[in-house]
Structure 1
Amino acid sequence: MICTKNTIQHGCEAIQKKDKKKHLSPKRHRQTDFFIADIFNNLTFQDDIASMEHPLFALKTGDNRVRRYEHNNFSIVIAPNPEYGMATIHDKDIWIYCISKLMQAIYEEKEISRTVHFTIYDYLITTNRGVDGRYYEKAKNALDRLRSTNITTNIETAKTREARGFGLIDAWRVVEEKDGRMVRVSVTLPDWLYRSVTSNQVLTISPDYFRLRKPLDRRIYELARKHCGSQKEWKIRLELLLKKTGSSENLREFRRSIKSLVATNELPDYNVFYNLESDLVNFTQKYKLV
């Protein structure tokens, strides 16, 4: 088949139409509501730099393999609990929410500790989830997976590196329950994550991060935000990017995922370009991030 300029153009348009709104889910909650607006206006989303760099979370629900990751001088072993399974990157939203609450308290010069108290309703609203009973149950399951997933690593936070094992959260408990549904909870974060917060080893992230449907897209956003944060662009070989994501996709499948992101241009904060000849992925800022 001979490809002319017109056929290439129509082909690209077809891809864009096919993939339209494929990566971003709609906003579930309108900020025009007084209470919802109050929740959003008082919270800037933050993620810790160490977990943005290294693949601590599974990208597939039910992926209960013991995973090992090594890069430069860092090593990580992630092991799931047989009963609850591996914590996923969607479960990480609880992490991000807790970090954001702590950073907000620091900004307001309030006393903080490793234990964060919050209502499940606020968490569901701010992370673009539904608020019916299913989502409360999903939040409980996420807390169980975070508590039971075991990490052994020498990740450095706040210039401190130590080889040790820990859960992704130390503990959680229900503070208030109504009609058999947990309403308020307390989550105790691990020491190394708390060090990241108190030493300001965090980065702001877009609220649209929570609208990304695919776990892989969330992981790619984290990497782009971490590496492109203080520079105009970031280039990385496709194969190395695949390794950094922790994805189980083969290189061909991963290339297709990247091409879809390029076609839709729906990754928050960043444009994504892919050069087939050099096999390089290039991220550039859509606008200046603070």
Structure 2
Amino acid sequence: MAEDKNTKKRTEVEIQAMLAKLRAKGKENQNEIRAAIVEDLKKFKEPPPSVLAPVKHLQKDFFIADIFDTAIKDDMASMEHPLFALKAGDMRVRVYERNGNSVTIKPGSDGCATIHDKDVWIYCTSQLIEAMNRGRDDVSRTVRFTAYNFLVTTNRPVDGDSYKRMGDALARLRGTSIETNIITDGQRERAGFGLIDSWRVIEKTAGGRMVAVEVTLSDWLYRSIKAKQVLTLSPDYFRIRKPADRRMYELARKHCGAQRQWQCTIKTLYEKSGSTANLREFRRTVKTLVESDELPDYKVGMVDDMVTFIRR
């Protein structure tokens, strides 16, 4: 407001100065004076053009995960290779090589991220794929979401312990490092990275419980997501209790694809699973799964050392 008053006062002074100048020259005709003033004031009406063009788009460097009832999506590379531990506190350095692909998984101080920790990875992937399918333009590898929505979507309780376990899972995902040459989006490179690049709490309650978090995915995973190298999982995936059963579901989904069935030896299944048990214990685990007949989407059979997954 003060600036407007100063501008008005300055303009009035300038007008009076011009009037005095014109009268001194003998131009007493009011029309002539008025026309001369209009011409002289034109330079004051338009401000000079700015050096900078106006901002056309607000910068967005994160994606808000706010889509409900999304299809559950998992990336094919982590379904094929045992990146996640089946047992909490696993401190082994694991090396897996198959068909020219190699991956080395190194634990952080809290052990390797587990297949239940992978729920964060799957949740973010599902949200990003759904957003892409809807044509949203704010998708990025940094995802913001509420802890409550994550817990509900992944079929977890919403009590205090669950919020704490979620924080522990994020820490393990950040601490676990991967070295691999697995191709994503047609790009093969020998690279090392964390299962996630970073995470942070955006909002807390008065009691310190996390409300909203921000997770930045690794570029390796994000390339898979952008290329849509993903598969849809059963809506009951998050209901699978045992880590080994979850892993076998992943392998069945990856290798069956659109086929009716997938068959492999118990030894191959054991190697692909990343299990810490010995082969005899793993065989018992498969037999239990066969007898329960509760694996979503697939019926499991085992004859001698051959395991068959048949799409229901």
TM-score range, shorter chain: 0.7 to 0.9
Report the 3-state secondary structure (helix = DSSP H, G, I; strand = E; otherwise coil) of the residue aligned with 1:123.
helix
Query: Which structure is larger by alpha-carbon Rg, 1 or 2?
Result: 2
Provide the residue aligned with 1:55 in structure 2: 82
Tell me, yes or no, if structure 1 residue 177 matches structure 2 residue 204.
Answer: yes
* TM-score normalized with structure 2 length: 0.77
Q: Distance in 2 between matches of 1:41 and 1:282?
A: 35
Q: CA deviation at 1:244?
A: 0.4
Give the one of 114, 119, 124 matched to 1:93.
119
Tell me, yes or no, if structure 1 residue 283 matches structure 2 residue 312.
Answer: no
Number of residues of Structure 1 aligned to a counterpart in Structure 2: 245
Q: Distance in 1 between matches of 2:199 and 2:235?
A: 25
Report the 3-state secondary structure (helix = DSSP H, G, I; strand = E; otherwise coil) of the residue aligned with 2:236.
helix
Provide the residue aligned with 1:23 in structure 2: none
Q: CA deviation at 1:41?
A: 5.5
Contact 1:67–1:77 under 8 Å retained in 2: yes
Give the one of 178, 189, 206 matched to 1:151.
178
Report the 3-state secondary structure (helix = DSSP H, G, I; strand = E; otherwise coil) of the residue aligned with 2:170.
helix
* Residue identity matched to 1:135: S
Q: CA deviation at 1:238?
A: 0.6
Report the 3-state secondary structure (helix = DSSP H, G, I; strand = E; otherwise coil) of the residue aligned with 1:157.
coil
Report the 3-state secondary structure (helix = DSSP H, G, I; strand = E; otherwise coil) of the residue aligned with 2:88.
coil
* Residue identity matched to 1:60: K
Q: Distance in 2 between matches of 1:65 and 1:283?
A: 29
Contact 1:40–1:126 under 8 Å retained in 2: no
For residues 283 and 172 of structure 1, do their structure 2 counterparts lie closer, same or farther at Cα, with a shift above 3 Å needed?
same
Provide the residue aligned with 2:236 in structure 1: 208
| C-alpha RMSD over aligned residues | 1.2
Q: CA deviation at 1:42?
A: 2.7
Provide the residue aligned with 1:142 in structure 2: 169
The within-5 A match list for 1:63-212 is 63-82=90-109, 84-111=110-137, 112-178=139-205, 179-212=207-240
- Name stretches of at least 5 consecutive residues in structure 2 with no aligned partner: 1-65
- Deviation per CA, 1:106-140, whole angstroms, max 9, x where unpaired? 11111200001100000000101000000000000
Q: CA deviation at 1:207?
A: 2.0
- Deviation per CA, 1:45-104, whole angstroms, max 9, x where unpaired? 00000000000011000111111111120111111112x221111000000000001011
Q: Distance in 2 between matches of 1:41 and 1:143?
A: 22
Report the 3-state secondary structure (helix = DSSP H, G, I; strand = E; otherwise coil) of the residue aligned with 1:170.
strand
The within-5 A match list for 1:230-249 is 230-249=258-277
* TM-score normalized with structure 1 length: 0.83
Provide the residue aligned with 1:224 in structure 2: 252
Q: Distance in 1 between matches of 2:269 and 2:67?
A: 32
Report the 3-state secondary structure (helix = DSSP H, G, I; strand = E; otherwise coil) of the residue aligned with 1:235.
strand
- Deviation per CA, 1:191-241, whole angstroms, max 9, x where unpaired? 110011110100000121111111111110000000011200000011011
Higher relative contact order (Cα pairs below 8 Å, separated by 6+ residues): 1
Q: CA deviation at 1:189?
A: 0.4
Report the 3-state secondary structure (helix = DSSP H, G, I; strand = E; otherwise coil) of the residue aligned with 2:144.
strand
Q: Distance in 1 between matches of 2:276 and 2:101?
A: 20
Which runs of structure 1 show a deviation greater than 3 angstroms over 4 or more consecutive aligned residues? none
* Residue identity matched to 1:195: R
Tell me, yes or no, if structure 1 residue 261 matches structure 2 residue 289.
Answer: yes
Identity %: 58
Contact 1:46–1:100 under 8 Å retained in 2: yes
- Name stretches of at least 5 consecutive residues in structure 1 with no aligned partner: 1-38
